């Protein structure tokens, strides 16, 4: 039977910045700046709830960690982190543009340029753009290419409760390079006819004559003539 004293150290001082041997053994980590407990296993890489027996339940239900390795973990968290650890959904978010957290999953994602809307799903992006920018019309790639960025995102939580912030890539930028998007941006520099977002911009500017024209003569919207 494993000598449990090897993985159950004495109570840690609050200012102790050395690695927590228990967490290291169980592939967990505590972010003391944001007060979250992270599961570092490759299939997770997100924060988990530290309350009650939820940590030990996570280790058993998700990773089949045996009882012998989980014994005393709840007490270890209670005794060594008196400042408290928070649920992932309650933790503050790092600022956008931060360096990626080494223990969290990084997602190839999308960001709408006109509001704070982050998603890992291109389908959700097109649905949002169709509703908020295209007046219900289909969000085809030519229509939306100038409305969003390809970005890197991280989140404390997993599942449907994720809240995101942008992080930088290897080049220091939050915008991730996508070859097809680069080709699109070059082709859109000299458009052969107006795109629908031109009219959205015009309607917001009372001094833009395109707004008055499009409102008084709808057939011009359909033809694209100005």
Q: Does one domain contain both 151 and 97?
A: yes
Q: Which domain holds residue 204?
A: 192-226
Global pTM exceeds 0.85 = no
Burial 184-218 (b: 16+ CB within 10 A, else e): eeeeeeeeeeeebbbbeebeeeeeeebbebbeeee
In a domain, 35, yes or no: yes
Q: Is residue 175 part of a domain?
A: yes
Picking from 17, 52, 80, the residue at the C-terminal end of a domain is 80
For 210, the token pair is 């395109």
Instruction: Evaluate whether residue 137 is within a structural domain.
Output: yes
Q: Which of the two residues, 202 and 115, has the higher pLDDT score?
A: 115
Of 80, 108, 143, the residue at which a domain comes to its end is 80
Flag whether 85 is in a domain: no
Is 87 a member of any domain?
no
Q: Which residues pair with 48 in a beta bridge?
A: 37
**Most confident segment among 15-19, 101-105, 122-126:** 101-105
The answer, yes or no, to whether residue 21 has pLDDT greater than 60, is: yes
Phi and psi, residue 63, nearest 5°: -130, 0
Q: How many CA atoms lie within 13 A of 94 on its CB side?
A: 21
Q: Is the same domain home to 186 and 201? A: no
Domain boundary among 23, 48, 80: 80
Kindly state whether residues 206 and 132 are assigned to the same domain: no
Whether the predicted pLDDT of 215 surpasses 50 = no
Distance of CA 13 to the CA centre of its chain: 33
| Number of domains present in the structure of the chain | 3
Give the chain's mean pLDDT: 78
Q: Is the per-residue pLDDT at 171 higher than 50?
A: yes
Query: DSSP string covering 151-203, please?
Result: EEEEESS-GGG--EEEE--TTS-SBPP-HHHHHHHHHTTS-SS--HHHHHHHH
């Amino acid at each position: 039977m494993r000598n449990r004293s090897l993985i159950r150290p004495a109570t840690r001082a609050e200012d102790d910045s050395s690695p927590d041997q228990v967490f290291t053994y169980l592939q967990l980590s505590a972010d003391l700046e944001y007060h979250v407990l992270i599961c570092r296993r490759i299939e997770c890489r997100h924060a988990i709830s530290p309350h009650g027996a939820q940590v030990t339940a996570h280790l058993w239900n998700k990773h089949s960690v045996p009882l012998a390795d989980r014994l005393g973990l709840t007490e270890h968290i209670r005794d060594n982190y008196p400042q408290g650890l928070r649920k992932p959904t309650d933790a503050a978010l790092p600022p956008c543009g931060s360096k990626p957290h080494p223990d969290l999953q990084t997602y190839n994602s999308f960001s709408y340029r006109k509001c704070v809307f982050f998603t890992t799903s291109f389908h959700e992006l097109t649905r949002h753009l169709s509703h908020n920018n295209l007046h219900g019309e289909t969000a085809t790639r030519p229509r939306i290419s100038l409305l969003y960025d390809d970005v890197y995102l991280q989140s404390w939580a997993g599942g449907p409760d994720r809240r995101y912030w942008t992080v930088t890539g290897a080049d220091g930028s939050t915008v991730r390079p996508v070859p097809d998007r680069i080709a699109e941006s070059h082709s859109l520099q000299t458009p052969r006819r107006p795109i629908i977002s031109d009219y959205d911009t015009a309607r917001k500017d009372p001094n833009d004559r395109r707004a008055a024209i499009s409102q008084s003569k709808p057939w011009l919207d359909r033809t694209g003539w100005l």
